[in-house]
Amino acid sequence: MAQVIQDQPAEHAVGDLTDELTAYMERKGLRSTSQRRLVSEVFFSAEGHYSIDEVLAMARAKDPKVGYATVYRTMKLLVACGLANERQFGDTVTRFEIARHDSHHDHLICIECKRIVEFEDDEIEAQQEALAKRYGFRLVSHKHELYGVCPACRDK
Amino acid sequence: MAQVIQDQPAEHAVGDLTDELTAYMERKGLRSTSQRRLVSEVFFSAEGHYSIDEVLAMARAKDPKVGYATVYRTMKLLVACGLANERQFGDTVTRFEIARHDSHHDHLICIECKRIVEFEDDEIEAQQEALAKRYGFRLVSHKHELYGVCPACRDK
DNA sequence: CTCGATGCAAATGCTTTGCAGAAAA
DNA sequence: TTTTCTGCAAAGCATTTGCATCGAG
């Protein structure tokens, strides 16, 4: 059998993301290199919010020779083709997450352990729209981050 | 007469803010210097969201010799004593705004002209609280920014 | 007179870019 | 072979700090 039907489909099928990237690169005349394949693969496989350094570390685990600039440029490429989002949380480092086209989500961040929980709240989204309209703004995007202490850290 | 009662009280009475700062500095054994008085005065008098460079420019209009580091350190001081908030919007620069203790507010930012409008929405605040509770988080702070196109820029 | 504050300039931390050599197409 | 990509190292840029000097207390 060529395709395995999974009982519990992964949140993001790594293959689908890779296909989208490949299509984008072909369309733009960009080259498929071993580094781009490696970096995108480790990023697509790892669910989370990673800094360049973290993606670099994951990539170097499989190929110690990859350079920082390559990871940097590959992440920019993923952002450009809409497969990754760039985020800045409390600190100064830029983090990347896999972009989901279907749903908007925001973040709940533990200020103790830095854990990041994603949430989706349609009511808040709707109220944001209403609020923007009230001020005459055409809403393009938003950033909504809640900082607090997570259950695990509260009990310590 | 020593005190002037104003018909239209300023949003933030510069004098009150200055008094709070003075009290804080005395409490901490910090010195009242001409630079600190100048920087805090221009910042308290100017309503808005200013970067270090902008505060520096305002201060230098009155005293060309003030240094960047002094403004930097004075703004940190204002943040430390709760009289200013530090914010990062879309770009890389840090901006400061006068902290109001009574009300929480968030921002609506025009991506064209960079105009920043402040808003307050109790319903959204309440929903944030509910959401944090749902995840077991004790909510400490939040960042809520809406990016869009303001009425003036839509008509251009 | 003492110790904190200032202002310069240098250091830092992260991001971005120039360029010579490497590797896709 | 041509053109893009890589990896290093250097440049940018906003922020932060060390230090000699200045000035408030």
Say which residue the tokens 């990859």 belong to: A66
Interval A110-122 mean pLDDT? 92
B28-80 pLDDT, tens digit per residue, is 999 999 999 999 999 999 989 999 999 999 999 999 999 999 999 999 999 99
Q: Which residue has the higher pLDDT, A92 or A78?
A: A78
Which of B117, B119, B139 is nearest residue A148 as measured by Cβ atoms?
Answer: B139
Interval A112-141 mean pLDDT? 95
Burial string for A95-126 (b: 16+ CB within 10 Å, else e) reads bbbbeeeeeeebbbbbbeeeebbeeebeebee
Q: Check whether residue A68 has its CB closer than 7 Å to nucleic acid strand C.
A: yes
**Which residues from A are below 8 Å from B129, CB to CB?**
none
Residue A124 has pLDDT above 90, yes or no: yes
**pTM, two decimal places:** 0.86
A30-52 pLDDT, tens digit per residue, is 999 999 999 999 999 998 999 99
Q: Check whether residue B67 has its CB closer than 7 Å to nucleic acid strand C.
A: yes
pLDDT confidence of residue B102: 79
Interval A114-129 mean pLDDT? 94
From-to residues of CATH 1.10.10.10 in chain B: 3-98
Alpha carbon distance A146, B14 (integer Å): 31
Alpha carbon distance B129, A27 (integer Å): 45
pLDDT confidence of residue B3: 36
**Which residues from B are below 8 Å from A142, CB to CB?**
144-147
Check if the beta carbon of residue B149 is closer than 8 Å to that of residue A138. Answer: yes
Say which residue the tokens 């733009």 belong to: A28
Residue A156 has pLDDT above 90, yes or no: no
- Indicate the range of A38-47, A52-61, A106-115 predicted with least confidence: A106-115
From-to residues of CATH 3.30.1490.190 in chain B: 106-154
Residues within 8 A of B (CB atoms), A 82-111 only: 88, 108, 110-111
Instruction: Tell me the two tokens of residue A64.
Output: 């110690």
Instruction: Tell me the two tokens of residue A111.
Output: 């200020």
Check if the beta carbon of residue A55 is closer than 8 Å to that of residue A71. Answer: yes
pLDDT confidence of residue A47: 87
Alpha carbon distance A142, B112 (integer Å): 15
Residue A8 has pLDDT above 60, yes or no: no
Residue A126 in contact with partner chain B when CB distance is under 8 A: no
Residue A6 has pLDDT above 70, yes or no: no
Check if the beta carbon of residue A114 is closer than 8 Å to that of residue A93. Answer: no
| Smallest CA–C1' separation from A39, nucleotide | D6
Pick the CATH number of A106-154 from 3.30.1490.190, 3.40.1360.10, 3.30.9.10, 3.50.50.60: 3.30.1490.190
Q: Do B127 and A124 touch (CB under 8 A)?
A: yes
Alpha carbon distance A57, A141 (integer Å): 31
Which of B121, B127, B145 is nearest residue A142 as measured by Cβ atoms?
Answer: B145
Q: Which fold has domain A3-98?
A: Arc Repressor Mutant, subunit A (1.10.10)
pLDDT confidence of residue A73: 98
Q: The dihedral of CA A19, A23, A24, A30: what is its sign? A: positive
Alpha carbon distance A62, A74 (integer Å): 16
Q: What is the DSSP string of B49-84?
A: -EEHHHHHHHHHTT-TT--HHHHHHHHHHHHHTTSE
Residues within 8 A of A (CB atoms), B 50-79 only: none
How long is the CA A95 to C1' C24 vector, in angstroms? 30
Check if the beta carbon of residue A113 is closer than 8 Å to that of residue A153. Answer: yes
Which of A124, A136, A148 is nearest residue B137 as measured by Cβ atoms?
Answer: A148
Interval A92-105 mean pLDDT? 90
Q: Which of A47, A45, A99, A40 minimizes the C-alpha distance to A70? A: A40
Residue A116 in contact with partner chain B when CB distance is under 8 A: no
